[in-house]
Amino acid sequence: MERLKSCNPATGAVVGQVPITPVGDIPRMVARARAAQAPWGALGTRARAELLAGAAELFEARAERHAELITAEMGKPIKEALAEAKSLGSGLARELEEIVEALVPDQIEDGRARSTIFHDPLGVIGAITPWNFPMSMPSWMLIPSLAAGNTVVFKPSEETPLCGQAYADVLNEVLPEGVLIVVHGADEQGKAIVRSDVDMIAFTGSREVGKHIMREASSSLKRLVLELGGKDPMIVLEDADLEKAAKFAANNSFRNAGQVCVSTERIFVLDSVAEAFETALAGVAAAMSVGPGTEGSDIGPMVNARQRDHVLAQVNAAVAAGAKVLAGATHKDNYVAPTVLTGVADDMDIAREETFGPIACVTRVGSVDEAVERANDTVFGLGAVVFGKDEDQAAAVARRLTAGMIGINRPVGGVAGTPWVGARQSGFGFHKSKDGHRQFTQTRVMTRAL
Ligand code: NAD
């Protein structure tokens, strides 16, 4: 059987390998998942949640081993990898409780009849995930899918098959046979899952692949949850704490080497404070350490040479078109130094297409209206951030932005229980929250006379 080798982006060494799933086997695997669905669905939400909760201890016990694997396979600094690995177990009980509550049938009466609204399992879910959060992205999809009574055929990214397998191995220690089946491979295997007899595709990845999946899924009207890319703006208002804003911009542009869907990719700063902000940002960038994720550096390698070349091509084109380099713009092997560009114009590729690298792009604007207009001038709509001392004024600016999640003087993510949601072409459907969990179900209404 053909093997998929997983390589360490810091050293090039082979971390491990997995057998590639022959595309011809996928329909049989889906049939196996379908056969396992009826008994799994019949268990009931509470019983399934209790069973899945048993995985929390296993995730906790293996957190360090998982973190080492994340760093080895995709390069993120070990501290960030450990936070990701720990989150798998620590948040599980709360999330399962939220899913159980979300799926309790609702009742509505009108004096003559009573309707009950059920949230039944959909059937078999095809789950396809990216490499940038190689354990938490699978978790965000698999836990609500499984707890709702679906069985799952899961394909992790070809960049991080070992993380995907290790994640599924934990769940498979508590799940009955056939409820969670792993497929390994790249786009051919992903396409075969989309073509197969699954009832829903839950996908996190790029906008281009999301569009392809939507086209392919239309022939059988498969349900879709697509969490796609972003080009998140940050607006720095005149009264912003510039040191804080610069630190945030650096962290949110460079974290995980910029390979985060809600990375800050475009910064609009008011003219009067632009110079001070740019100087502070360049200072933070220059002080950051770049090196192997195992050695406590701030920024690890890019996931692979292709991603590095994509980032460098955008930077070089921007500089050729007039952008100025305030920090970075250098590289060695798969490492790209944290880079600050100023004078970025709206028609540059780096201002329009997702970069997914450690690059902070600053554009000066003359007014708040201009900042809002240019921030919204994108097909994406995942996150956005506004920095300003007067939080009511910052909130008023935030309400004019077209993104799905907006942070004021903080990152975009909402408190536990809120959705992780992209607007416009950053997503179709969303994750987390009661409404998010219900997407993995079929709503059915049964009405009887009173
Ligand atoms: P990608 O779209 O290249 O691949 C994602 C997955 O899809 C992989 O498993 C891949 O093998 C598979 N795939 C590729 N082509 C396919 C096809 N035609 N049909 C079915 N499956 C196919 O994305 P990536 O490079 O792995 O991840 C980075 C992207 O993910 C970025 O755009 C990032 O913004 C996005 N992302 C979004 C979120 C979010 O919450 N919105 C979270 C993390 C990552």
Quick check: 378 and 422 in contact, CB under 8 A? Answer: no
Judge whether residue 1 has pLDDT over 90.
no
List the beta strands (DSSP E) in 14-112.
Answer: 14-19, 106-109
pTM: 0.97
- Residue-level pLDDT at 285: 97
User: SS in 3 state form for 113-146?
Assistant: EEEEEEEEECCEEEEECCCCCCCHHHHHHHHHHH
Torsion angle in degrees (nearest 10) through CA of 413, 418, 423, 426? 60
Q: What is the pLDDT of residue 63?
A: 98
List all residues 6 or more positions away from 323 whose beta carbon is below 8 Å from its beta carbon. Answer: 341, 342, 343, 344, 345, 348, 350, 361
**Cα 140 to Cα 48, 87, 389, 430, distances in angstroms:** 16, 11, 34, 10
pLDDT value at residue 205: 98
Per-residue pLDDT band at 342 (split at 50, 70, 90): very high
Give the residue from 382, 332, 94 showing the smallest Cα distance to 226.
382
Atom of ligand 1 nearest to the CA of 128: 9
Residue 241 pLDDT greater than 90, yes or no: yes
State if residue 157 touches ligand 1 by the CB under 6 angstroms criterion.
Answer: yes
Instruction: Please state the atom number of ligand 1 nearest to the C-alpha of residue 157.
Output: 9
Report the phi/psi class of residue 383: left, alpha or beta, with left for phi > 0 and alpha for psi in -120 to 50.
beta
| 266: its two tokens | 């475009």
CA distance 358 to 286: 12
Confidence grade of residue 292 (pLDDT, cut at 50, 70, 90): very high
pLDDT band at 214 (very low <50, low <70, confident <90, very high): very high
Cα of 202 from ligand 1 centre, angstroms: 11
Residue-level pLDDT at 60: 98
Instruction: Determine the residue of 142, 157, 231 to mutate for testing ligand 1's pocket, defined as the one with the most ligand atoms within 8 A of the Cβ atom.
Output: 157
> What is the atom index within ligand 1 of the atom nearest the CA of 229?
34
**Range 407-416 contact pairs with CB under 8 angstroms and sequence separation of 24 or more:** 407/383, 409/240, 409/241, 409/244, 409/248, 410/248, 410/385, 411/248, 411/252, 411/262, 411/385, 412/232, 412/262, 412/382, 412/383, 412/384, 412/385, 413/262, 416/91, 416/94
pLDDT band, very low/low/confident/very high, at 120 (cuts 50, 70, 90): very high
Does the C-beta of 261 come closer than 6 Å to ligand 1? yes
Q: Residue 384: which H helix or E strand, with range?
A: strand 383-387
125 lines ligand 1 (CB under 6 A): no
Q: How confident is the model at residue 45 (pLDDT cuts 50, 70, 90)?
A: very high
Protein residue closest via CA to atom 30 of ligand 1: 205
- Collapsing DSSP to helix, strand or coil, 4 comes out as strand
CB atoms within 10 A of CB 90: 14
Best mutation site among 132, 200, 304, 432 for ligand 1 pocket (most ligand atoms within 8 Å of CB): 132
- Is a pLDDT exceeding 90 seen at residue 296? no
> What's the gap in Å between 156 CA and the centre of ligand 1?
10
Average pLDDT for 409-418: 96
- Average pLDDT of the segment spanning 105-111: 97
Check pLDDT > 90 for residue 135. Answer: yes
Q: What is the pLDDT of residue 446?
A: 98
pLDDT of residue 266: 98
What pLDDT band is residue 68 in, cutting at 50, 70 and 90?
very high
CB 92 within 8 A of CB 58: no
Other beta carbons within 10 Å of 23 = 16
The mean of the pLDDT values for the chain is 98
Look at the block and give the residue holding tokens 């935030």.
Answer: 398
CA 281/CA 405 separation, integer angstroms: 24
Beta-carbon contacts of residue 36 (< 8 Å; ≥ 6 apart)? 151, 176, 177, 178, 179
Task: For residue 116, report the distance from its CA to the centre of ligand 1, in Å.
Answer: 37
Q: What are 260-290's pLDDT values in tens digits? A: 999 999 999 999 999 999 999 999 999 999 9
Task: Let me know the angle formed at the C-alpha of 291 by 286 and 296, rounded to the nearest 5 degrees.
Answer: 95
**Dist. CA 294 → ligand 1 center (Å):** 25
How much distance in Å is there from the Cα of 129 to the middle of ligand 1? 6
Q: Strand, helix or coil at 327?
A: strand
User: Cα–Cα–Cα angle for 225, 231, 234, nearest 5°?
Assistant: 120
Query: What DSSP line would sit under 199-268, residue for residue?
Result: SEEEEES-HHHHHHHHHHHGGGT-EEEEE----EEEEE-TTS-HHHHHHHHHHHHHGGGG--TT-EEEEE
Q: What is the mean pLDDT of residues 306-327?
A: 98
Rounded to an integer, what distance in angstroms lies between the CA atom of residue 78 and that of residue 126? Answer: 30
Catalytic residues: 227, 261
User: Is 205 a pocket residue for ligand 1 (Cβ < 6 Å)?
Assistant: yes
